[in-house]
Structure 1
Amino acid sequence: MSDSSSERIAQRLREWVSNAPSGAQLPSTRALVAEYEASPVTVQKALQSLIGQGLVETRPGVGTFVRSIRVARPHDYGWQTAALGSPQNRMPHASAALRATPNDVIALHSGYPDRELLPERLVRAALTRAARGDAVMSKTPAAGLPELQAWFASELGAHTPTGLTPPTASDVVILPGSQSGLSTLFRTLVGAGRPMLIESPSYWGAILAAAQVGVQLVPIPSGPHGPDPDEIDRAFAQTGARAFYAQPNFANPNGAQWSPDLADSILRIVRERGAFLIEDDWAHDFGITTTAAPLAARDDSGHVVYLRSLTKSVSPAIRVAGLIARGPAHDRILADTQSQAMYVSGVLQTAALDVVTQPAWRTHVKSLRQQLAARRDLLVDSLREHAPTAHLESVPAGGLNLWLQLPDETVLVRFARECEVSGVILAAGDDWFPAEPTGRYLRLNYSGPNPGAFPEAAHIIGQVLARH
């Protein structure tokens, strides 16, 4: 029989299904062949047509049935209100930087570099090799692969001045990304209900991690060149805090990089106060006109606890970070990470080590400088041309973001919504303030996709600003 014959049979079966109750079983294929005097192939084609339309469903070894109709009904989860009780801490909402976006918009909000800025060939090859090795069936040590520990230690050791003791592999703990590392550090070095100094603005993920742990944040104003040491010293004295979370290199969101003199002043204060400096070196591989100079390299007395992630520079799928701490703090941190995650996937650790020890990795990082510089400068020039009423206090020497200040009368939520309607997704700056925002800001990622659309995005931003 022809396809037209199978369609006629399908039509008759549709009529049968429309009159049958939900869940009714259809006659067997043999019975349908006899009833319609058709070949098994023709009957099967007719049944496949009905399956594709969602009218019937097959149950292997049982038969074919009229598809059950699930009636929509409201769910009652009210009982959970009493079971859960009131939350101890109100969690900040996840930042707009995590939003997925359709392909037909200009995305300036993301916290991650575009795929074309990542070493994709190295990552694919490394994962393939890791999958062939013992890592796929092995449990790794709690502190991490010794070779990867040694790599993180040597990277920081390369910046250590003569006369100071560089870190060793035993000082390193491998973590499943820096976000879990922040929670561990805030829990072990600070503790619930206790104060911790933090730059303002600062990384929204650190603000979220502090809220989850129950740490009380003490904001320290920080501009394009970093915080004021006198403000830090005063805050330590007034609050009794014993830790300060900071990003001395290419801070997220404002791109600030501490000068050597500022770094020395803050390190001196931390030592005098008997406190920890939690250094988040998130953008170590994203220097443009300068290179990241970790503050931890200037300290061998255990005051600086250092965190560096490979997730943004290698691949979002390689959630691996290294944490360097010395003394009893290291032991507490390791115990906490063991209780939270036991160990980090050996496959991911092996792949990460493979990527960063390839000669092509150094070549990639060097070329990344040029690509980031071109993207940054294009967005800066576009904003200056099309959105002159917005203020860019400084052009960052590294990192992934511009920190753009809008006029004070701007209604930020409405502004971001109007930009999105016009095809540009932005990250409103309020998420990066641990207390009330001190102005109307946008964090614009110049490492995102489609940099050729930056002039168009700036034009839209300027148009919406003009309406406000």
Structure 2
Amino acid sequence: MGNDSTDRIVEGLRRWITTAPPGAQVPSNRELTAEYGASPVTVQKAMRVLAGLGLIESRPGVGTFVRAVRTARPADYAWQTAALGAPPSRLLGLPSAQRSTAPDAIALHAGYPDRELLPERLVRSAIARAARTDAAITRSPVAGMPDLQAWFAAELAGAAPAGVTPPSARDVLILSGSQSGLSSLFRALVGPGQPLLIESPTYWGAILAAAQADVTLVPVASGPNGPDLEDVARAFEQTGARAFYVQPTFANPTGAQWSTQLGRDVLELARRHGAFLIEDDWAHDLAIDADPHPIAAADDDGHVIYIRSLTKSVSPALRVAAVTARGPARDRILADRAAESMYVSGLLQAAALDVVTQSAWRTHLRSLRELLRARRDLLVESLREHAPDAHLELTPQGGLNLWLRLPDGIDAAGIVRACEGRGVIIADGTEWFPAEASAPHIRLNYSGRDPDRYPEAARIIGEEIERASTDHPLRGTAVRAD
């Protein structure tokens, strides 16, 4: 407190307060001045300190009193147990990719690029311009702004082979991010209790959306080249499923890209079984060494339901995506979206359209390729040097992630906890499996902040894997990164 006389008064009164009953009147300032031989100013400072500590309270015109201790009654939420019932296991907890971290942590777990990889100047200018238009004060059409619908349709039409009728603007429905669209698609196209084929591993958000829609997941193993065609055919035949959720381009988490032939073959299977192919083209704008070739571009009879998002390539603050669907499926999805969210903010739509129609947008995408390549390669090389027991089966040609298999018998969750204790945040691969995990994995995102710290992160990951392997009595044979 910085003043001996003030400290002496405060300590004396604190001792007195411990024996005084709540509500007892504190001696007046005049009495305290005389008792402690201090000036009135010093006594007033001491009283302010005690009041700040919550020990006394002043009642104007009456005096100062010992503050009664008010014990807060603990809130009782027990009634909610019966009201909520048993939770679906997939809805428990926050996914590791969405966790917040300390500012000094090395964050390799998140699903979004660092701000230096975003077209920040374009976004800020676009938002400012959109705010000066009617989009800032009017309601958007339920299906979306016509000009933005047309842009998404034209993007897909530009990839269509000769002889295929491209989608129209009407076939496009604007969403507030692709995640909200997945739940609608699963409800509208599959339905509660019905089977949905899904790659394994796959995007955790799709697994969550399926749980929310109460559909029955049918995992189909998928590797660095996508799923095996015979496995897909068998799953369709055995389950009678009418939909298959896929990420053919730079899949999350594996980074796999299907061949053009596999895309055609799976589309033909869907046609043969009268089923939908739900194509999530989440990384369309995140190509590095290969270009995206949407399966939907080769479809003109409504079997492919195509989702594309701008959230990761434009800005996480502009949650704008689109689903392209034809026929009655489009109408069912639209009805579900209208009931779920009514419409998407016209302000966000206008800003997103402004960004992607600027000539600087294409320039940004070209520079983004190089930035992502440099980060990816740095992290890959760092892992090869410092974490050789983490097996990288595929160096992705696009997207944001590396998918690493740990030595058999290693507890991935334990590695995640150990790394977090040392300031490196990574994601447990278990969350990307719709059923039991086939092996322990971790997912690392190479688009986060501080890429210069990737070698440090790789060293810590390698040390923790080595420590866990040494401590494990049944250590399997480690497979080295290549």
Please classify the TM superposition score into its range, dividing by the shorter chain length.
0.7 to 0.9
Structure 1 SS opposite 2:75: coil
Aligned-partner Cα distance in 1 for 2:288–2:65:
63
Structure 2 SS opposite 1:154: helix
Tell me which amino acid in the other structure corresponds to 1:365: L
**CA apart distance, 1:82:** 2.4
In the superposition, relative to structure 1, how do residues 152 and 65 fare at CA in structure 2: closer, same or farther (>3 Å)?
A: farther
* Unaligned segments of structure 1, at least 5 residues: 27-36, 59-63
Q: Are 2:270 and 1:270 aligned?
A: yes
| 8 Å Cα contact 2:277-2:305 kept in structure 1 | yes
Identical columns (%):
63
Counterpart for residue 96 of structure 1: 96
| 8 Å Cα contact 1:221-1:228 kept in structure 2 | yes
In the superposition, relative to structure 1, how do residues 56 and 284 fare at CA in structure 2: closer, same or farther (>3 Å)?
A: farther
Aligned-partner Cα distance in 1 for 2:427–2:57:
45
TM-score, with length taken from structure 2: 0.85
Moved over 4 A (4+): 18-26, 44-58, 64-70, 87-90
Counterpart for residue 408 of structure 2: 408
In the superposition, relative to structure 1, how do residues 88 and 223 fare at CA in structure 2: closer, same or farther (>3 Å)?
A: closer
Q: Within 5 Å, which residues of 2 pair with 1:29-44?
A: none
**CA apart distance, 1:170:** 0.4
* Unaligned segments of structure 2, at least 5 residues: 27-38, 59-63, 470-482
Aligned-partner Cα distance in 1 for 2:302–2:67:
66
Aligned-partner Cα distance in 2 for 1:203–1:124:
30
**CA apart distance, 1:70:** 4.9
Aligned-partner Cα distance in 2 for 1:378–1:394:
15
In the superposition, relative to structure 1, how do residues 385 and 271 fare at CA in structure 2: closer, same or farther (>3 Å)?
A: same
Tell me which amino acid in the other structure corresponds to 2:177: G
| 8 Å Cα contact 2:200-2:433 kept in structure 1 | yes
Counterpart for residue 85 of structure 1: 85
Aligned-partner Cα distance in 2 for 1:243–1:384:
39
Structure 1 SS opposite 2:222: strand
| 8 Å Cα contact 1:92-1:211 kept in structure 2 | no
**CA apart distance, 1:48:** 9.3
Aligned-partner Cα distance in 2 for 1:218–1:90:
15
Aligned-partner Cα distance in 1 for 2:415–2:267:
40
Aligned-partner Cα distance in 1 for 2:46–2:223:
70
Aligned-partner Cα distance in 2 for 1:249–1:52:
60
Counterpart for residue 291 of structure 1: 291
Aligned-partner Cα distance in 2 for 1:102–1:113:
17
Q: Are 2:166 and 1:166 aligned?
A: yes
Matched positions, count: 457
In the superposition, relative to structure 1, how do residues 271 and 122 fare at CA in structure 2: closer, same or farther (>3 Å)?
A: same
Structure 1 SS opposite 2:244: strand
Deviates more, 1:202-211 or 1:155-164: 155-164
**CA apart distance, 1:433:** 0.3
Cα-to-partner distance string for 1:303-343 (whole Å, 9 max, x where unaligned): 00000111111111111111100000000000110000000
Aligned-partner Cα distance in 1 for 2:123–2:416:
35
Q: Within 5 Å, which residues of 2 pair with 1:220-239?
A: 220-239=220-239
**CA apart distance, 1:301:** 0.5
Counterpart for residue 29 of structure 1: none
TM-score, with length taken from structure 1: 0.88
Aligned-partner Cα distance in 2 for 1:424–1:51:
43
**CA apart distance, 1:49:** 8.3
**CA apart distance, 1:21:** 9.6
**CA apart distance, 1:86:** 3.5
Cα-to-partner distance string for 1:268-300 (whole Å, 9 max, x where unaligned): 111111100000000011000011111100101
In the superposition, relative to structure 1, how do residues 158 and 69 fare at CA in structure 2: closer, same or farther (>3 Å)?
A: farther
**CA apart distance, 1:360:** 1.2
In the superposition, relative to structure 1, how do residues 23 and 296 fare at CA in structure 2: closer, same or farther (>3 Å)?
A: farther
Aligned-partner Cα distance in 2 for 1:93–1:281:
26
Tell me which amino acid in the other structure corresponds to 1:132: R
Q: Within 5 Å, which residues of 2 pair with 1:424-435?
A: 424-435=424-435
In the superposition, relative to structure 1, how do residues 255 and 90 fare at CA in structure 2: closer, same or farther (>3 Å)?
A: closer
Aligned-partner Cα distance in 2 for 1:128–1:46:
52
Counterpart for residue 374 of structure 1: 374
Counterpart for residue 458 of structure 1: 458
Counterpart for residue 437 of structure 2: 437
Tell me which amino acid in the other structure corresponds to 2:335: A
Structure 1 SS opposite 2:91: coil
